[in-house]
């Protein structure tokens, strides 16, 4: 035997000692006779690796060959001690340094060499225990880092080697422990899991796990982790069910729960629950769980765990299992189609509406369509197919997420300005653009003498506005669907619309001691203004009032008389005729239909406490109330409602729409979510199954059954939604103070349950009422992130506080046990509904309150606002024109508004300047449930019609064409997303049907006409609301940014594009507090190719084509950070949008007008021309919210959970967060 030649330390000038030892080992590898030297060198390396982190780091640094030398030696050596030394060295390397060193070892081929070593060692009889222990330990650590590990292990035959070792050495815990750890890794591959199951691994695991024991807890934990992984295979889960192991798991869990009083074995208890969670992924497992009384067992044990926060992981997992096993039910409805039916003039050939019309008759619908709600799982899948269809190319899993919805075809991205309709056809829109030809002869303009065009910032005196009244007379009469007509405009020169008379209230009777409703709910004293002559008897007489008795007659109705400082009470005009409590008074208004106000609260106006504090909450208002006159007129509103056509022929008016709404004078912060509220609500839902005798299950409101009996008991709430924009279909009393609410589908649809607006009465103060809206469809909601529903109290309105306020506590949004069939869900299997739950304490007894998803804004309110704007504007200064674009399917008019500045004189240059102003085209409310869009539009309209010098400058710069409500029918009938055609109108822009989508067809026609006459709008913007994000932001269109977000990022460098599309959003981000530039996106998606934004950009050729999305919740940045958004902020956004257009004018206009510098203090360097894409696509980050603490409760039925391996010595206190990814975390496509 040759002597080991040790190289002197001095000769290692720049190399460490370990480098020298590795060099010696590499030299020894070439001489198979030097086993002693290899043993000696590896022992030295082991000593250094055990004692020095520096050594371990040097061996695994990039470029180091140390690991390769060790693996080569391990592969070639026949010496047992050398093998053990190298295995010990590798153990040291992967035991510290995290996953990076394990990945380094895999990259050097370590997993393949170690698997081969396992094979070779297994041939010894008996196998060397230490080699097996170390090899299994290392493989268990590096296996998860090797994407091909499952395949390699199966090909090498390692599965049966490890399994047989466990079977043969069941009592040798030192050997069994690493074997179980490796089996856990093997089982991550479902093919391996099935193979192991066939060889009896499931039965083997149940020989290891058992009742409570203080011994071998580490082995028990690993065995349970392995079992949970194995049971994810349907084959193994069925095997476990067939052998009665579900009952065994429950028995073991109860035993550990009872004996682990000091909570030292939480990981073992959670391991049992994880196994139950896996086995209940199949229908047989859920049935076995129910049969074994699992619901009650887990409910009781989880309730006992609530006291200790460290046991939250057990409570969360138990909750998930119970909700998964909760029997699926269909909604208690005769059909999930809308309660209302509207016969379409044309039935589409394809699509969901065509499918809906092709269904069997209504009497058979419950059997063939709706009741087909089954527990759809793949229990009958062939076992062999499960293995054969396994995707073994795990390389795909490592690829970065790719959004397939992004348009990648450059040809489709390039704008194609094609008229689409003939010039002759487009001439039908000429009369809607009189501003292009009107010479204003005969109109008394400001100056008859020509003068330089300089804006002086003065407000001119009123003169008669030129109108097209003569033209209108020729177009009067009934409007036809799809035919563009013009509404006769009624200009009032010397008088405005008659307003109702108010009672004169002595100032000494008025108390300025208002307190906010929020303060009242905190238990502080209520303060109410008292009106002269108002008493309880009179208010009680105002139970029901017909609308006919209200207009223009003093003393027959209710109206608002609220001053800016809110110190005056709401004036109540006395009805001269008392009405029976439950009867209707008044005569028929028209066509035999009686229109009524909803039931008024019967307790009268409460008197204020004279000793209350005098400080008014008005001082704390976040935004000043403008001095402009209010646009709300109750009498006018009633008159307009009479002409509004609804499918249900509504005969009532909701009090909030009649009284009107003013923003409350206090801030409404985003609600802070108390920890544990969601699981408490879910536990109460689970109690419905466990304690069924406690459930009342009584229908108290039902649109489908007009003969249902309204309960007479005084402690039962009364509901109503039979008014414009109302949506509530059915109410079921569950417990004494808990109600399930079901929303109506959009007409001619069986989907889109989100918008709600309903009335509640008969409440008692001091009682917590829980409301559950149980048929929501979206997978997540801002109700999980601090948003509250809106509530309007009639009693508060009578007390001079007529406003919607955010209301409700214990709010959460989660998946429930109601489900749709795959047919009803449009082919999506097992589609579940979601619940919005909130709790309300009403401040007044027998009040009448209204709840809404967002601030209601009805079609009648729009018509009222337009009439008020028309009657109040200065016709000498403002050119205002209101036309009818077309008639909707149900016969309502779709208004088209034109606003600009009147020409300064008849001088040719002024007329030319008037005609050649660039167009701004705005639209809103294509989705009825996005009422915030209408409030933003209201802010835009009011600003454009104001006397503000900047507004006058804006009018002189642009001609505004505005369609404030693209979907009147949907708004009127309480739809959330569709028109009466049952289709999303914002997906019809490519090929709108004039019979089914008249508003879209003719709006597109207007834009096509402008393109044909070479007057493309400078900006097109469609106002929307967003239910999943905070702030206000924009979506635009950019070829460059779209290509940049595809996999071929280099291609974007070749695209030349004007970045002017970013100008307006960038301006708004600087001037509008609620606007957030980082949330904007300019990517074009395939799913949006039929939206207004994309079609107007691509087909019409408008570069600045936008969708402006306003949050339904609130803001998380800027001035309003932490606050829920209100109508004040939404209207402000509409005004700021106008100011942004004014600043855009300076940046885009070739002419420099002498504009006040204060209006245009804008830095030209604001716009970045480098086109840096920082914003995500619309859908890559579907939610911009962090995960909330109880997300596990939300993802109750996700069967593709990602399990995170816990170390053996993990502290159970740190294991509380559930390792389940919710549906909300996966990227999805959601339309705006």
pLDDT in tens, 943-964: 999 999 999 999 999 999 999 9
Q: Which residue, chain included where needed, has tokens 């700021």?
A: 1136
- Band the pLDDT of 402: cuts 50, 70, 90: low
Buried b (16+ CB within 10 A) or exposed e, 728-739: bbbbbbbeebbb
Question: Of the given ranges (16-25, 247-256, 298-307, 1087-1096), which has the lowest mean pLDDT?
Answer: 16-25
Rounded CA gap, 926 and 1022, in Å? 8
- Residue 924 parent element (H or E): strand 919-924
Res 876: pLDDT: 87
Alpha-helical (H) ranges within 306-446 are 312-325, 352-357, 362-365, 383-388, 410-413, 423-426
CB 1179 within 8 A of CB 403: yes
Between the alpha carbon of residue 276 and those of residues 241, 409, 632, 817, 1037, the distances in Å are 11, 48, 60, 19, 49
Res 718: pLDDT: 95
Whether residue 176 is predicted with pLDDT greater than 80 in this model: the reply is yes
CB 900 within 8 A of CB 918: no
- Predicted TM-score (pTM) of the model is 0.77
Question: Of the given ranges (102-116, 121-135, 415-429, 584-598), which has the lowest mean pLDDT?
Answer: 584-598
pLDDT in tens, 234-272: 999 999 999 999 999 999 999 999 999 899 999 999 999
Rounded CA gap, 484 and 999, in Å? 10
Question: Of the given ranges (874-878, 915-919, 1226-1230), which has the lowest mean pLDDT?
Answer: 1226-1230
pLDDT in tens, 526-579: 333 333 333 333 233 333 333 333 333 323 333 333 333 333 233 333 333 333
Catalytic positions are 1109
Provide φ and ψ at 870, rounded to 5°.
-65, -40
pLDDT in tens, 187-230: 999 899 999 999 999 999 999 998 888 888 899 999 999 999 99
Nearest to 987 by CA among 966, 964, 1006, 1009: 966
The encoded tokens of residue 723 equal: 């008014």
Rounded CA gap, 915 and 438, in Å? 8
Rounded CA gap, 360 and 372, in Å? 14
Question: Of the given ranges (65-79, 195-209, 457-471, 1081-1095), which has the lowest mean pLDDT?
Answer: 457-471
CB 473 within 8 A of CB 920: no
Rounded CA gap, 1132 and 1116, in Å? 17
More confident residue, 137 or 1160: 137
Rounded CA gap, 480 and 891, in Å? 8
Whether residue 1031 is predicted with pLDDT greater than 70 in this model: the reply is yes
Mean pLDDT of the chain: 76
Half-sphere exposure of 809 (CA within 13 A, CB side): 12
| Percent of all residues in the chain with a pLDDT value above 90, rounded to a whole number | 51
Q: Which residue, chain included where needed, has tokens 């790719």?
A: 402
Res 408: pLDDT: 57
Pairing of β 596-597 and β 805-806:
unpaired
Pairing of β 738-742 and β 768-776:
parallel
More confident residue, 524 or 823: 823
508-522 mean pLDDT = 38
pLDDT in tens, 338-384: 999 999 988 877 777 777 776 655 433 443 333 334 444 434 433 33
Whether residue 482 is predicted with pLDDT greater than 80 in this model: the reply is no
- Band the pLDDT of 823: cuts 50, 70, 90: low
Whether residue 938 is predicted with pLDDT greater than 90 in this model: the reply is yes
Question: Of the given ranges (35-44, 408-417, 775-784), which has the lowest mean pLDDT?
Answer: 408-417
The encoded tokens of residue 1125 equal: 């958004």
- Band the pLDDT of 666: cuts 50, 70, 90: very high
- Band the pLDDT of 60: cuts 50, 70, 90: confident
1022-1050 mean pLDDT = 84
Res 792: pLDDT: 98
Computed on alpha carbons and rounded to an integer, the radius of gyration of the chain in Å comes to: 36
pLDDT in tens, 963-1001: 999 999 999 999 999 999 999 999 999 999 999 999 999
The encoded tokens of residue 571 equal: 């004036």
Residues contacting 660, CB < 8 A, separation 6+: 560, 630, 632, 634, 802
1182-1204 mean pLDDT = 38
Q: Is 457 left (phi over 0), alpha (psi -120 to 50) or beta?
A: left
The encoded tokens of residue 1029 equal: 């994000």
276-288 mean pLDDT = 95
Count Cβ atoms below 10 Å from residue 831 Cβ, excluding itself.
16
Cβ neighbourhood burial of 809 (10 Å; 0-12, 13-18, 19+): middle
Q: How far is CA 787 from the centre of its chain?
A: 11
Res 596: pLDDT: 66
Pairing of β 768-776 and β 878-887:
unpaired
Res 49: pLDDT: 86
Between the alpha carbon of residue 681 and those of residues 317, 742, 1216, the distances in Å are 15, 18, 19
Buried b (16+ CB within 10 A) or exposed e, 932-960: bbbbbbbbbbbbbbbebbbbbbbbbbbbb
- Band the pLDDT of 409: cuts 50, 70, 90: low
Nearest to 485 by CA among 954, 804, 892, 62: 892
- DSSP codes joined into one string, 830-866: TPEEEEEEEEEE-SSTT-EEEEESS----HHHHHHHH
Rounded CA gap, 978 and 974, in Å? 10
Whether residue 863 is predicted with pLDDT greater than 70 in this model: the reply is yes
pLDDT in tens, 304-333: 999 888 999 999 999 999 999 999 889 999
Rounded CA gap, 729 and 735, in Å? 19
Q: Which residue, chain included where needed, has tokens 């009639």?
A: 794
pLDDT in tens, 715-745: 899 999 999 999 999 999 999 999 999 999 9
CB 334 within 8 A of CB 366: yes
738-756 mean pLDDT = 94
User: ∠ CA(1047), CA(1051), CA(1056), 5° rounding?
Assistant: 135
Res 499: pLDDT: 30
Res 1125: pLDDT: 97
pLDDT in tens, 1053-1075: 566 777 889 999 999 999 999 99
Residues contacting 807, CB < 8 A, separation 6+: 788, 789, 790, 791, 840, 851
Provide φ and ψ at 772, rounded to 5°.
-120, 110
Rounded CA gap, 1139 and 1142, in Å? 5
Which range among 620-634, 738-752, 848-862 has the greatest average pLDDT? 848-862
pLDDT in tens, 566-622: 332 333 333 333 333 333 333 333 333 445 666 554 434 343 343 333 333 323 333
User: ∠ CA(861), CA(787), CA(850), 5° rounding?
Assistant: 45
CB 866 within 8 A of CB 896: no
Whether residue 1225 is predicted with pLDDT greater than 60 in this model: the reply is no
CB 837 within 8 A of CB 774: no
Whether residue 806 is predicted with pLDDT greater than 80 in this model: the reply is yes
CB 136 within 8 A of CB 122: no
């Amino acid at each position: 035997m040759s002597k080991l030649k040790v190289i002197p330390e001095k000769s290692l000038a720049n190399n460490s000692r370990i480098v020298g030892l590795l060099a010696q080992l590499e030299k020894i590898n070439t001489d198979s006779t030097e086993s002693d030297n290899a043993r000696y060198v590896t022992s030295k390396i082991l000593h250094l690796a055990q004692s020095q982190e520096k050594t371990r780091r040097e061996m695994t640094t990039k470029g180091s060959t140390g690991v390769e030398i060790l693996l080569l030696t391990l592969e070639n050596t026949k010496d047992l001690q050398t093998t053990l030394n190298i295995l010990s060295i590798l153990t040291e390397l992967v035991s510290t340094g995290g996953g990076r060193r394990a990945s380094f070892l895999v990259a050097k081929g370590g997993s393949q060499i170690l698997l081969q070593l396992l094979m070779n060692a297994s041939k010894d009889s008996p196998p060397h225990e230490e080699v097996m222990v170390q090899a299994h330990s290392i493989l268990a650590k590096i296996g998860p880092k090797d994407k091909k590990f499952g395949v390699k292990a199966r090909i090498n035959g390692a599965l049966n080697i490890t399994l047989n070792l466990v079977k043969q050495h069941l009592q040798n815990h030192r050997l069994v422990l690493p074997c179980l750890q490796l089996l856990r890794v093997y089982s991550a591959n479902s093919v391996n899991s099935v193979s192991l199951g066939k060889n009896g691994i499931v039965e083997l695991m149940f020989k290891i796990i058992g009742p409570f024991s203080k011994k071998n807890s580490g082995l028990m934990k690993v065995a349970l982790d392995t079992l949970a992984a194995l049971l994810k295979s349907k084959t193994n889960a069925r095997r476990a069910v067939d052998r009665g192991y579900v009952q065994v798991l429950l028995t073991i869990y109860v035993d550990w729960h009872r004996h682990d009083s000091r909570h030292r074995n939480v990981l073992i208890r959670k391991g049992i629950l994880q196994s139950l969670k896996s086995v209940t992924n199949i229908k047989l497992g859920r049935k076995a769980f129910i049969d074994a009384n699992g619901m009650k067992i887990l409910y009781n044990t989880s309730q006992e765990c609530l006291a200790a926060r460290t046991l939250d992981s057990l409570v969360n997992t138990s909750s998930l299992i119970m909700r998964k096993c909760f029997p699926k039910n269909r909604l208690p409805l005769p059909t999930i189609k809308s309660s209302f039916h509207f016969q379409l003039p044309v039935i589409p050939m394809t699509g969901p509406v065509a499918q809906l019309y092709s269904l069997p008759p209504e009497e058979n619908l419950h059997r063939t369509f709706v009741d087909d709600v089954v527990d759809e799982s793949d229990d009958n899948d062939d076992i062999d197919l499960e293995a054969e269809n396994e995707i073994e190319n795990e390389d795909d899993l490592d690829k970065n997420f790719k959004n397939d919805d992004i348009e990648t075809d450059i040809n489709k991205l390039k704008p194609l300005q094609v008229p689409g309709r003939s010039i002759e056809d487009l001439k039908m829109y000429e009369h809607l653009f009189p501003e292009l030809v009107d010479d204003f002869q005969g109109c008394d303009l400001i100056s008859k003498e020509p003068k330089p065009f300089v804006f002086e910032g003065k407000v001119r005196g009123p003169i008669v506005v030129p109108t097209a009244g003569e033209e209108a007379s020729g177009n009067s009469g009934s409007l036809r669907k799809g035919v563009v007509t013009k509404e006769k405009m009624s200009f009032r020169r010397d008088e405005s619309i008659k307003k109702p008379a108010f009672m004169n209230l002595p100032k000494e009777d008025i108390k300025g001691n208002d307190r906010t409703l929020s303060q009242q709910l905190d238990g502080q004293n209520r303060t109410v203004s008292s009106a002269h002559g108002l008493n309880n008897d009179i208010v009680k007489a105002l139970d029901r009032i017909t609308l006919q008795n209200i207009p223009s007659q003093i003393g027959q109705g209710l109206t608002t008389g609220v001053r800016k400082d809110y110190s005056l009470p709401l004036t109540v005009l006395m009805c001269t005729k008392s009405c029976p409590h439950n009867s209707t008074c008044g005569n028929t208004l028209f066509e035999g239909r009686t229109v009524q106000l909803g039931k008024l609260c019967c307790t009268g106006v409460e008197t204020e406490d004279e000793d209350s504090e005098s400080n008014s909450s008005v001082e704390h208002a976040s935004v000043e109330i403008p001095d402009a006159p209010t646009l709300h007129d109750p009498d006018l509103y009633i008159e307009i409602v009479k002409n509004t056509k609804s499918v249900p022929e509504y005969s009532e008016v909701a009090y909030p729409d009649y009284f009107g709404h003013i923003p409350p004078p206090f801030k409404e912060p985003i609600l802070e979510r108390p920890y544990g509220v969601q699981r408490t609500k879910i536990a109460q839902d689970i109690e419905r199954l466990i304690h069924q005798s406690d459930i009342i299950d009584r229908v108290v409101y039902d649109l489908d059954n007009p003969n249902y009996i309204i309960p007479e008991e005084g402690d039962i709430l009364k509901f109503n939604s039979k008014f414009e924009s109302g949506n509530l279909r059915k109410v079921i009393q569950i417990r004494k103070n808990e109600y399930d609410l079901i929303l109506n589908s959009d007409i001619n649809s069986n989907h889109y349950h989100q918008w709600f607006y309903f009335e509640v009465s008969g409440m008692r103060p001091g009682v917590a009422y829980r409301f559950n809206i149980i048929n929501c469809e979206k997978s997540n909601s801002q109700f999980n992130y601090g948003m509250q529903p809106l509530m309007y109290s009639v009693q508060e309105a009578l007390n001079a506080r007529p406003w919607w306020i955010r209301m409700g506590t214990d709010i959460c949004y989660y998946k429930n046990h109601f489900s749709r069939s795959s047919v009803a869900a449009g082919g999506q299997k097992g589609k579940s509904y979601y619940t919005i739950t909130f709790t309300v304490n009403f401040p007044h007894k027998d009040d009448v309150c209204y709840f809404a998803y967002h601030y209601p804004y009805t079609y009648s309110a729009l018509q009222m606002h337009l009439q008020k704007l028309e009657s109040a504007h200065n016709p000498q200064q403002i050119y205002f024109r209101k036309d009818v674009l077309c008639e909707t399917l149900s016969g309502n008019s779709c208004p088209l508004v034109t606003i600009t500045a009147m020409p300064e004189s008849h001088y040719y240059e002024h007329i030319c300047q008037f005609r050649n102003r660039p167009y701004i085209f705005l639209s809103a409310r294509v989705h009825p449930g996005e009422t915030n869009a209408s409030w933003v539009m209201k802010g835009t309209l009011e600003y454009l019609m104001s006397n503000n010098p900047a507004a006058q400058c804006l009018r002189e710069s642009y001609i505004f064409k505005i369609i404030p409500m693209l979907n009147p029918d949907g708004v009127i009938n309480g739809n959330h997303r569709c028109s009466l055609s049952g289709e999303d109108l914002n997906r019809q822009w490519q090929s709108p049907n004039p019979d089914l989508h008249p508003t879209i067809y003719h709006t597109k026609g207007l834009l096509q006409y402008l393109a044909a006459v070479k007057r493309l709008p400078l900006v097109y913007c469609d106002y929307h609301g967003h239910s999943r994000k905070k702030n206000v932001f924009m979506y635009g269109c950019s070829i460059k940014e779209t290509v940049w977000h595809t996999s071929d990022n280099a291609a974007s460098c070749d695209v030349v594009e004007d970045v002017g599309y970013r100008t307006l959003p960038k301006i708004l981000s600087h001037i509008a507090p609620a606007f957030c530039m980082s949330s904007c996106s300019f990517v074009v998606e395939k799913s949006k190719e039929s939206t207004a934004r994309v079609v107007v950009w691509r087909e019409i050729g408008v570069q600045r084509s936008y969708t402006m999305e306003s949050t339904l919740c609130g803001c998380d940045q800027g001035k309003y950070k932490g606050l829920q958004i209100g109508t004040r902020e939404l209207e402000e956004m509409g005004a700021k949008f106008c100011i942004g257009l004014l600043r855009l004018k300076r940046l885009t206009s070739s002419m420099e007008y002498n504009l006040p510098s204060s209006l245009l203090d804008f830095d030209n360097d604001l716009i970045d021309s480098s086109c840096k894409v920082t914003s995500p696509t619309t859908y890559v980050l579907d939610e911009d919210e962090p995960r909330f603490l109880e997300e596990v409760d939300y993802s109750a039925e996700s069967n593709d959970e990602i399990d995170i391996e816990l170390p053996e010595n993990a502290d159970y206190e740190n294991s509380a967060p559930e390792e389940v990814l919710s549906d909300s975390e996966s990227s999805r496509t959601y339309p705006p």
